Chain A
Amino acid sequence: MIESHATTQDIHGHPALQHHFENMEQQREAGTIGMWVFLVTELMFFGGMFLAYALYRNLYPAAFASASNHLDIVLGAVNTGVLIVSSFTMAMAVYFTQVGNRRPQIVCLVLTLILGLTFLGIKAVEYHDKYTDHLIPGRLIPSAPFGPAVQEEGQPLDHHKLHLLPGATLRQVEMFYWIYFAMTGMHALHMIIGAGLLTFLILYSIKGRFDPEYHSPVEIIGLYWHFVDIVWIFLFPLLYLLGRHFEHG
């Protein structure tokens, strides 16, 4: 695995070499494996919520379909596109760092950041809509407890009102929204952290800290960003695309 030089610390090494590593390659390898291990923990963390989702979707299929129908699929789809493109720009940023092209590297990082912030902005719009429609579960917002308006039979179609499919109750719909906010909220939190990390990367890139010899921070933050993207790729169909064959609600 490691090239075995039984050398003492290479004091003339790269300025970014930490004192406890033998050489840059060992340092880079450690960082990469470290990030993968961290992503495994993230997987397990989200996994608990996916389990709860699977359980309650199985128990309350009609309620989940009704609630899923009521989410804004356009905004959700746009967000999905935004994230996929941002993963592309991130991958390009890593590539440009590896070959030492600073200008395009910074541009790509900035684009990734902009796209990430766009995602968060659209999410904020969605959350605000939920707030105005009284769809925030429980007493999370004490002044606006859960209590959406329900579409009555025979009344003109109102897209702000929730259309309950047969067999669905409001209590069960609340469960869906609880899981929706838990999962997308946790995801958004990770996006915010990612945005912060990207900011650091951009600043360091401008200062010229990265070069073909030392670019592992860009790589490993790229890994993190791709992971957050992949979580969304799972969240989107599970949350937004249930029961689309029913009439639009």
Chain B
Amino acid sequence: MQSWIPLVPESASSFSWQVDALYFYLSGVTLFFTLLISAVLIFFTVRYRRRTPYEIPRPIAGSHKLETLWTVIPFLIAMTMFGWGARLYFNQYKPPQNAIEVYVVGKQWMWKLQHATGQREINELHVPVGRRIKLIMTSEDVIHDFFVPAFRTKADVVPGRYTTLWFEATKPGKYHLFCAEYCGMNHSGMTGSIYVMEPREFDNWLSGNTGSSTPAAAGQQLFQTLGCASCHGANGEGGRGPTLAGLVGRDTPLEGGQTVRADEAYIRESILNPQAKIVAGFQPIMPTFQGQVTEDQLVQLIAFIKSLPGGSGATPGASPAASGPLPSPRASGSPTENIR
């Protein structure tokens, strides 16, 4: 179906056809009004062309009725466009449950990706079809943007913070990955591919691609070598420092009365700028690790902390190799992916 309609890219995610539908609606309305205005203009220009050199037409003051009509109707149409787009967007950005997490670090001019199960990729991402994939992304240098046209989704990748993007691929294949925020000399070269695979093929790929430890395991090592265990305990049980087990997603009371919901950004900040938020009841004695850990290592530490027993969110250890359909409203095989 794609080969002869060069109007839209391939539809390969659960969003794609939804976004395309909105696109066709807006295109239709645009075409309608453009043709309408053009036709009226052409008609008037011909019908009311000047016939004698000195003729003066009768002036017409205006019409409140018409003004109201052509204010209210466009406004209502605009509201349908707004509402539809907003609803789709809200769904698109709501972080999903039970998603496979992949950590993405963008840098000039390449993408570094690491699966929760340890596989590392450069400029490529292999994912299974029919599963929700959540990308947790940051940049090492300037702002980049992770853009997959076939999935109709993108998000800026910003240094100093984590941004997320999720999708559910619906069609196996190979799709473009572009950097879509100008980032310097080789911006046009910062491209790659997303490989969407059938579950069995993906399992094969996974097993053929081990070799590096999972980010959580690497994080555990760092936790020891950097000395975190001496205050937080080897398994995050706490001590001179707060307990880290089960931290993520938990509301944490701070010195000074505030409460903060612990997430990846909070952990990252606590490692780099520990004085910023002191947990209630603890001393401000944690040293800063600014300059001593790279973005990759931060990601690994965060993965380790998330993996500690009692931790919430998608358990990175959940193996996609487990067979059987996972609880998902769009279990593979449903007809919705084939809808265009």
Taking Cβ atoms with an 8 Å cutoff, the residues of A that contact B are: 60, 62, 166-169
Q: Is the interface of A mostly helix, strand, loop or mixed?
A: loop
Contact between B273 and A166 (Cβ–Cβ < 8 Å)?
Answer: no
A169 to B277, CA, bound (A): 12
Bound-complex Cα distance A168 to B278 (A): 11
Q: Name A168's contact: one of B255, B256, B275, B288 (CB within 8 Å).
A: B275
Which A residues are in CB contact (< 8 Å) with B277? 167
CB distance from A102 to the nearest CB of B (A): 57
What residues on A are CB-neighbors of B284 within 8 Å? 166-167
> CB-CB < 8 A to A169: which residues of B?
273, 275-276, 288
| Given A62-B275, A166-B255, A166-B284, 10 further pairs, Cβ under 8 A | A60-B276, A166-B275, A166-B278, A167-B256, A167-B275, A167-B276, A168-B275, A169-B273, A169-B275, A169-B288
Collect the chain B residues with CB atoms within 8 Å of residue A62's CB: 275
In the assembled complex, the Cα of A167 lies from the Cα of B284 at a distance in Å of 8
Interface digits, B249-260 against A, CB 8 Å rule (1 contact, 0 not)? Answer: 000000110000
Closest residue on chain B to residue A168 by CB atoms: B275
Residue of A nearest to B277 (CB): A167
Q: Please, how many angstroms separate the alpha-carbon atoms of A60 and B256 in the complex?
A: 13
Taken residue by residue from 279 to 304, chain B's Cβ proximity to chain A (1 for < 8 Å, 0 otherwise) reads as 00000100010000000000000000
Cα A60 to Cα B269 with chains together (Å): 13
Closest to B275 in A: A167
Interface residues on B, range: under 10
> Which residue of A has the minimal Cβ distance to B255?
A166
Chain A residue nearest to B273 in the complex (CB): A169
18 sample A-B contacts, Cβ–Cβ < 8 Å, listed by A number: A60-B276, A62-B275, A166-B255, A166-B275, A166-B278, A166-B284, A167-B255, A167-B256, A167-B275, A167-B276, A167-B277, A167-B278, A167-B284, A168-B275, A169-B273, A169-B275, A169-B276, A169-B288
* Contact residues in B for A167 (Cβ distance below 8 Å): 255-256, 275-278, 284
Contacts of A168 in B (CB 8 A): 275
Q: Nearest chain B CB to A61's CB is how many angstroms away?
A: 9
A contact residues around B276 at 8 Å (CB):
60, 167, 169
**Residues of chain B lying within 8 A (CB to CB) of residue A60:** 276
A150 to chain B, nearest CB (A): 13
Docked Cα-Cα span, A166 to B285, in Å, equals 10
* Cβ distance B61 to chain A, nearest Cβ, rounded Å: 26
Q: Could you tell me the distance between the alpha carbons of A83 and B164 in the complex, rounded to whole angstroms?
A: 51
Cα A221 to Cα B255 in complex, Å, equals 50
B273 contact set on A, CB distance < 8 A: 169
Q: Whose C-beta in chain A lies nearest to the C-beta of B288?
A: A169
Most chain A CB atoms below 10 A, which of B256, B273, B275? B275
Give the CA-CA distance A73 to B285 in the complex, in Å. Answer: 31
Determine the distance from Cα of A166 to Cα of B280 in the docked complex, in whole angstroms. Answer: 13
Please give, as numbers and ranges, the residues of chain A lying within 8 Å of B288 by CB-CB distance.
169
The complex places the Cα of A153 from the Cα of B142 at a distance, in Å, of 39
- CB-based nearest A residue for B256: A167
Q: Which of A62, A166, A167, A168 has the most CB of B within 10 A?
A: A167
- A168 to B163 CA separation, bound complex (whole angstroms): 26
Closest to B290 in A: A171
Assembly CA distance A52 to B278 (angstroms):
25
Give a binary string over B6-41; 1 marks a CB under 8 Å from any A CB, 0 the rest: 000000000000000000000000000000000000
Assembly CA distance A60 to B288 (angstroms): 16
- Provide the residues of chain A in CB contact with B278, threshold 8 Å: 166-167
| Distance between A228 CB and nearest chain B CB, rounded to angstroms | 36
Complex Cα distance, B255 from A60, in Å, reads 14
For the complex formed, measure the closest distance between the CB of A1 and the CB atoms of chain B, giving whole angstroms.
Answer: 26
- Determine the distance from Cα of A169 to Cα of B278 in the docked complex, in whole angstroms: 13
Q: Which residue on chain B has the smallest CB distance to residue A59?
A: B276
Residues in B neighbouring A166, C-beta threshold 8 A:
255, 275, 278, 284
CB-based nearest B residue for A62: B275
Within 8 A of A (CB), among B95-116: none
| Bound-complex Cα distance A112 to B277 (A) | 48
Contact bitstring B44-71, A, C-beta under 8 A = 1, else 0? 0000000000000000000000000000
Name the distance in Å between B264's Cβ and chain A's nearest Cβ. 18
Query: How long is the Cα–Cα vector from A168 to B275 in the complex, in angstroms?
Result: 6
Closest-CB distance, A64 to chain B (whole angstroms): 13
Q: CA A169 – CA B275 in complex, angstroms? A: 7
Whole-angstrom distance from the CB of A153 to the nearest CB of chain B?
A: 12
In angstroms, Cα B275 to Cα A60, docked, is 10
CB distance from A82 to the nearest CB of B (A): 37
CA distance A115 to B73 in the complex (A): 61
Minimum CB distance partner of A167 in chain B: B275
**Complexed CA–CA distance, A167 and B283 (Å):** 11
Q: Would you give the shortest CB distance from B277 to chain A, in whole angstroms?
A: 8
Tell me, in angstroms, the Cα distance from A108 to B64 when the chains sit together. 58
Which A residues are CB-close (under 8 A) to B256? Answer: 167
